[in-house]
Structure 1
Amino acid sequence: LNRQLTSGNLDAKELAIAQAGQARDYPKGIPQCGTDALRFALLAYTSQGRDINLDVLRVQGYRFFCNKLWQAVRFTLMQLGNDYKAEPFEVSGKESIMDKWILSRVAHAVERCNTDLEAYNFTQYTTTVYDFWLYDLCDIYLESVKPVISSGSDEARKVAKATLYHCVETGLRLISPAMPFLSEELWQHLPRLDSHPPSIIVHAYPETSEYPYTNEKIEADVAFAMSVIRTVRSLRSDYELTNKTKTDLYASVTDEEDKRCLVSLIPLIETLASSNKVEVLLQSSITPESIPSGCAHVTISSRCSVDIGLQGIINVERELVKLSGKKEKIEASIAKLVEQENRPDYEEKVPLPVRVNNTEKKEALLVEKKSIEAAMTALSG
């Protein structure tokens, strides 16, 4: 960009203004992101029409997504081992709940990718493959399968490895049209069937009929468990607990069906919520002795609430002081923004983008304040 400016027909004054604008827009330059990340970003932008406002940071985000794919395949190869022999995938009937869940998610991804590509809906296509790889496969399934492969039974490990390989290999073929170079390189490192072609480029694209694994009930169960996990993670973050600090977790639910759901997914909750143990209790049968003292309590919904054991892990008095200090700083920031908004000439003198930014900033601070107040209430109780 700088060379284009200096080789153009701008006079010295205009050149200086243009160079200052580039320095302001790209203070650290434009990072190298690779052709696959750029292609993926451009496909994601297609809904905007012919002219797009390309955000370099978004392209860089997709470069980090490429790194995530590298890490996921590297993890898969480590878990499979050097002696793993790929075989045509068939449901054995011995799959765990999480195996069935990821098979259902990959089936949905295959269906949506085919639908989106046939309709030339590249924006939705990139969203589908991005969500499958990042949120379903990397964030949930890979984490849930670690304890199974490291310490599960031989049969459970065999089934988990077959499911893992099947989903990763399918995922690479799904993303291949958008990231041909990266998917080719990673696919070449995977074990292959004798029937596989020499390149992913000439491999058949996954067809919906080949993935009859959808299971809406299990997906709903895992979604409920993930709502518990996200709440626990948020609460742990409020108390600045690291993943190495394990806590006891007590989940209280309103009916037997919710209890059955969470009990069946205790291994997932223990892994993703960094818990020593997880107990699922019916609210109708809870006694004062059911949940020990020194717990932080938070209500997730009308169906469920959780208590996290903090006794001996944090100093309650010190934590309350620290949270109070954070709350005061946030309140001061909110008051400053409100003062600006209440000025008589605020609407006329402050540009619209700045006003929008101030409103978003205030809303984020209010959410953070509410979170801190909930953490303080839980500790005080």
Structure 2
Amino acid sequence: MLEIAIRHNFPGFALDAQFSAPPGVTVLFGRSGSGKTTIVNAVAGLLMPDEGRIASDGWVLLDTAAGLRLRPHRRRLGYIFQEGRLFPHLTVRQNLNYGGWFAPKDAPRGEFGRIVELLGIGPLLERRPGALSGGEKQRVAIGRALLSAPRLILADEPLAALDEARKAEILPYFERLRDEVNIPILFVSHSASEVARLATTVVALDAGRVVAQGPAAEVLGDPAVLPTGAREAGAVISAVIARHHEDGLTEIDASGLPLFLPRVGQAPGSRLRIRIAAHDVILSRARPEGLSALNILPGTVRELRPGDGPGTIVALETRAGRLLARITRRSAAALELAPGTEVHAILKTVSVAPSDIGGGGPQG
């Protein structure tokens, strides 16, 4: 368990954040300027906060009250930046070996081959960074960080500089890190899709304060917690692939409820994490008929959260899990919605983007 408590004042901005990061991927989530990178830099030792304590299982990186501050090179951290920051004059193999030079003498040996296989970079070993795509560079950067035998990995928006195709290429590798590498990962993001796919734990930040912390399904499904605004609202459900159909659809089992998605490239039995955007959910009091939409989920209204404008966020409990719907206040009034109201949530199959479908990992 990584324990972080930091206070720091900048001109016009004050950071006061305290949270715990359990094993897995802890995502710091919020708008630009909310304090995410400041926290990561304090953990890395690149920023000395006014007050703070950072520790993990008796391993203390910082304790200002005790006058303790480990220098950055003694913190045993792997840092993955937005850009790969590889040495252009070295081959991929040499860049990876550079990470190994920082591993302690008692670090496990034989990790090179396992990490190369994990990240699928074997064919790249003799190339130089100039011959790599953005996604390939990031995979090599991840490998270099892992080969330093870190006790913690920091990833500061590592996908922000990539286009959608490269993000789709590299996200599964971060999922594998979450599921197969026993190293805590502190991951910075302002993308709800990344959070939904990767997070074991979400720490939502707003204006330098922690506004929520917990599993992804819990935090993203709370209409009171919208750190990047109502337009990005969406909930996360867990499901298992039931079967693939010849017409290009994949049928999933969401806690006994069959739903359909555009074909997913994983085998039946595979577990998925799926983000459903609130603006893609339509509500009906009666079960609709004669619609093209294939996914209709019975549910009960749990909470309504009006916004500053004409919209409101409706939180629903369904058999598949918590859903959010973003509708107008006028529609909510016309449907006479209130906590306890039974409704049907309607979701078009094609509205679920591939970037919102992730594989593996713990539920939540």
TM-score range with shorter-chain normalisation?
A: under 0.3
Tell me which of the two structures has the higher relative contact order, counting C-alpha pairs closer than 8 angstroms and 6 or more residues apart. Answer: 2
Q: Which has the higher helix share?
A: 1
- TM-score of the superposed pair, with normalisation by structure 1: 0.22
Question: Could you say which structure has the larger radius of gyration?
Answer: 1
Q: Which has the higher strand share?
A: 2
